[in-house]
């Protein structure tokens, strides 16, 4: 049977783009669908914009430290609009690089939502395409808990598009994403309250590390409400009102913004038409074997939508391994072995960002 594409990829994040280029190198005819920006979570809503904000948040500390080395006192204020515009300008630059990279390999880009009609047919916006092999690489998305007033809270993706700097922000969650955002906003001059369900932040990390970082954050001025349960969120004339329970007592916190930074993420697999394919799920993620194969013979999946190791270099390695195996005649296990999980993005100096090794610290 003749198909429009040898390989069609749903999702142009790190895994999808890496797969498209590698498969195209093997002379496969490749198409890719993306309804959002190219590059996925890391480029648009994670590593890149967040680390740029980390760098920006370090300058007040550096200004203060400089006085101990003979520099005069610096009086400076943050222009939020200038900073957030520069952050998004750099993201736009990277999106252009990704698009040109795909075009260089003759990958056809379809900018619309894709969903399965059957195992070999996909609806992409108003267009239908067919493919011999199909790869799902749709990534993940933030989780919103089912509580009263949740519509008044933003998710971590929205932080990079806030028109104004919050005077007081509440960070929900004690994972590394929540801790990063708590430290970023505190460094930028925003009052920060962080609400966590446990006794200590960073569950699953080394206990000494958790305790040391938590104490450091508190000493720096971040208010931490631990052993807390979020009861409700309400919008009023003063801002956003949170009701937070701590044991037998309750606390009310008034803030400009509530950021669901670290409640968690889940595979972004809604409205894909998976019910038309034979693809199976496991704990809300696409079930795959060690070669990224789903239960449908011609359909594969890589990256965060499989909910294995949700990291950019993992998705890239899985995608390239899939392309090597299926299109390159070089079968190899898609599991990571002795693979360096490092992903550094160095901002361009022309946007006013200067790389400093000190600033690589996440919190």
Q: In this structure, are 217 and 314 located in the same domain? A: no
Domain boundary among 221, 238, 263: 263
Q: Which residues pair with 10 in a beta bridge?
A: 33, 136
Q: In this structure, are 105 and 121 located in the same domain? A: yes
User: For 340-357, how does the pLDDT look when each residue is reduced to its tens digit (9 = 90+)?
Assistant: 444 333 333 333 333 333
Predicted pLDDT at 337: 54
Give the separation between CA 347 and CA 349, rounded to whole angstroms: 6
CA nearest neighbour of 289 among 325, 340, 313, 316? 325
Give the separation between CA 264 and CA 127, rounded to whole angstroms: 34
User: For 19-67, how does the pLDDT look when each residue is reduced to its tens digit (9 = 90+)?
Assistant: 999 999 999 999 999 999 999 999 999 999 999 999 999 999 999 999 9
Six-digit token string for 113: 């939502």
The answer to whether residue 177 sits within a structural domain is yes
Q: In this structure, are 138 and 40 located in the same domain? A: yes
Q: In this structure, are 275 and 241 located in the same domain? A: no
Residue 362: phi, psi to the nearest 5? Answer: -70, -40
- Domain interval for residue 275: 5-142+266-351
Give the separation between CA 66 and CA 308, rounded to whole angstroms: 44
Local confidence pLDDT in tens for the 363 residues of the chain: 899 999 999 999 999 999 999 999 999 999 999 999 999 999 999 999 999 999 999 999 999 999 999 999 999 999 999 999 999 999 999 999 999 999 999 999 999 999 999 999 999 999 999 999 999 999 999 888 888 998 889 888 899 999 999 999 999 999 988 999 999 999 999 999 999 999 999 999 999 999 999 999 999 999 999 999 888 999 988 889 999 998 788 889 999 988 765 677 899 999 999 999 999 999 999 999 999 999 999 999 999 999 999 999 999 999 999 999 999 999 988 775 544 444 333 333 333 333 333 333 333
Predicted pLDDT at 336: 58
Q: In this structure, are 164 and 210 located in the same domain? A: yes
Predicted pLDDT at 262: 60
Q: What is the dihedral of CA 26, 307, 121, 4, to 10 degrees?
A: -20
Give the separation between CA 114 and CA 88, rounded to whole angstroms: 26
- Which CATH number characterizes residue 232's domain? 3.50.50.60
Work out how many domains the chain is built from and give that number. Answer: 2
Q: Interior CA angle at 333 toward 332 and 338, to 5°?
A: 105
Determine if the pTM surpasses 0.85: yes
Residue that has been written with the tokens 């267009």 in this structure: 127
Provide the 10 A C-beta neighbour count for residue 154: 18
The answer to whether residue 133 sits within a structural domain is yes
Give the separation between CA 171 and CA 160, rounded to whole angstroms: 15
Six-digit token string for 288: 């795959």
Beta strand 299-301 pairing with 191-195: unpaired
Domain boundary among 263, 288, 317: 263
Q: Are 234 and 248 in contact (CB under 8 A)?
A: no
Q: In this structure, are 116 and 195 located in the same domain? A: no
Q: In this structure, are 247 and 272 located in the same domain? A: no
Domain boundary among 219, 235, 263: 263
């Amino acid at each position: 049977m003749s198909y429009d594409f040898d390989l069609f990829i749903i999702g142009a994040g790190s895994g999808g783009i890496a797969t498209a280029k590698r498969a195209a190198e093997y002379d496969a005819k490749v198409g890719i669908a993306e309804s959002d920006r190219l590059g996925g979570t890391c480029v648009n809503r994670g590593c890149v914009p967040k680390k740029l904000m980390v760098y920006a948040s370090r300058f007040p500390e550096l200004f203060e430290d400089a006085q101990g080395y003979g520099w005069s006192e610096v009086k400076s204020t943050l222009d939020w609009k200038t900073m957030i515009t520069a952050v998004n300008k750099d993201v736009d630059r990277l999106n252009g690089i990704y698009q040109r990279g795909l075009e260089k390999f003759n990958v056809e880009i379809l900018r619309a939502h894709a969903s399965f009609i059957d195992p070999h047919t996909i609806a992409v916006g108003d267009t239908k395409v067919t493919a011999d092999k199909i790869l799902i690489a749709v990534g993940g998305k933030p989780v919103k808990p089912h509580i009263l007033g949740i519509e008044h809270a933003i998710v971590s993706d929205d932080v990079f598009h806030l028109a104004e700097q919050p005077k007081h922000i509440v960070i929900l969650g004690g994972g590394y994403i929540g801790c990063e955002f708590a430290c970023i906003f505190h460094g930028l001059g925003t009052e920060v309250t962080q609400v966590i369900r446990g006794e200590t932040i960073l569950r699953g990390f080394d206990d000494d590390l958790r305790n040391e970082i938590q104490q450091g954050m508190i000493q720096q001025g971040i208010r931490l409400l631990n052993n807390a349960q979020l009861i409700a969120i309400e919008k009023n004339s003063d801002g956003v009102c949170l009701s937070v329970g701590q044991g037998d007592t309750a606390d009310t916190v008034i803030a400009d913004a509530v950021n669901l930074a670290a409640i968690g993420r889940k595979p972004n697999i809604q409205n894909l038409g998976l019910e038309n394919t034979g693809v199976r799920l496991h704990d809300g993620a696409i079930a795959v074997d060690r070669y990224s194969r789903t239960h449908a013979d011609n359909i594969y999946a890589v990256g965060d939508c499989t909910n294995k190791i949700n990291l950019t270099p993992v998705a890239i390695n899985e995608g390239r391994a899939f392309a090597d195996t299926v299109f390159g005649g070089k079968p190899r296990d898609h599991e990571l072995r002795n693979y360096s999980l490092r992903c550094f993005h160095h901002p361009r100096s022309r946007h006013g960002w200067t790389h400093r090794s000190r600033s690589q610290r996440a919190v």
